[in-house]
């Protein structure tokens, strides 16, 4: 798994660079984020959750059944909504209630 950064959506805030546990995300001369070595990405999704502009997507490869889908997230105080865009154009949405997600 790896991430894809949409430079058109990136605002250059640098939040993704500060949360990447592998220090794999950098800011270029225009302050736009980029990942130098995508294959080194752990797929932890920290940067995706931190990006408030929807500029980062997780690439869901065939090895995990994603067949090239892209996953982004939208966050509200109460929910996380994971949006999956599949290669065939279809979409799937996974809604997580933050207040209920860690109850066992």
Q: What is the pLDDT of residue 63?
A: 63
Q: What is the DSSP letter of 49?
A: H
Q: What is the pLDDT of residue 22?
A: 94
Contact 74, 81 (CB under 8 A): yes
Sheet harboring 91-97: ordered strands across? 2-5, 56-60, 69-75, 79-85, 91-97
Q: Where are the domains of the chain?
A: 2-69
pTM of the predicted model, to two decimals?
Answer: 0.81
Q: What is the pLDDT of residue 29?
A: 87
Q: What is the pLDDT of residue 57?
A: 95
**pLDDT tens-digit map of 11-63:** 999 999 999 999 999 999 899 999 999 899 999 999 999 999 999 999 887 76
- Please state, as a whole number, how many other Cβ atoms lie within 10 Å of the Cβ of residue 70: 18
Check residues 27 and 102 and name the one with the higher pLDDT: 27
**pLDDT tens-digit map of 70-98:** 999 998 999 999 999 988 889 999 999 99
Instruction: Tell me which architecture the domain covering 2-69 has in CATH.
Output: 2-Layer Sandwich (3.30)
Residue 69 CA, distance from chain mean position: 12
Q: What is the pLDDT of residue 66?
A: 67
């Amino acid at each position: 798994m790896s991430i894809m950064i949409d430079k058109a959506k990136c605002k250059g805030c640098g939040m993704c660079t500060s949360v990447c546990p592998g220090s794999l995300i950098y800011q270029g001369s225009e302050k736009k984020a980029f990942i130098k070595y995508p294959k080194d990405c752990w797929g932890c999704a920290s940067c995706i959750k931190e990006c408030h502009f929807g500029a980062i997507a997780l690439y869901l490869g065939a090895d995990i059944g994603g067949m090239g889908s892209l996953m982004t997230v939208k966050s509200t105080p109460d929910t996380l909504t994971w949006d999956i865009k599949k290669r065939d154009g279809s979409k799937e949405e996974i809604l997580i209630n933050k207040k209920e997600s860690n109850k066992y």
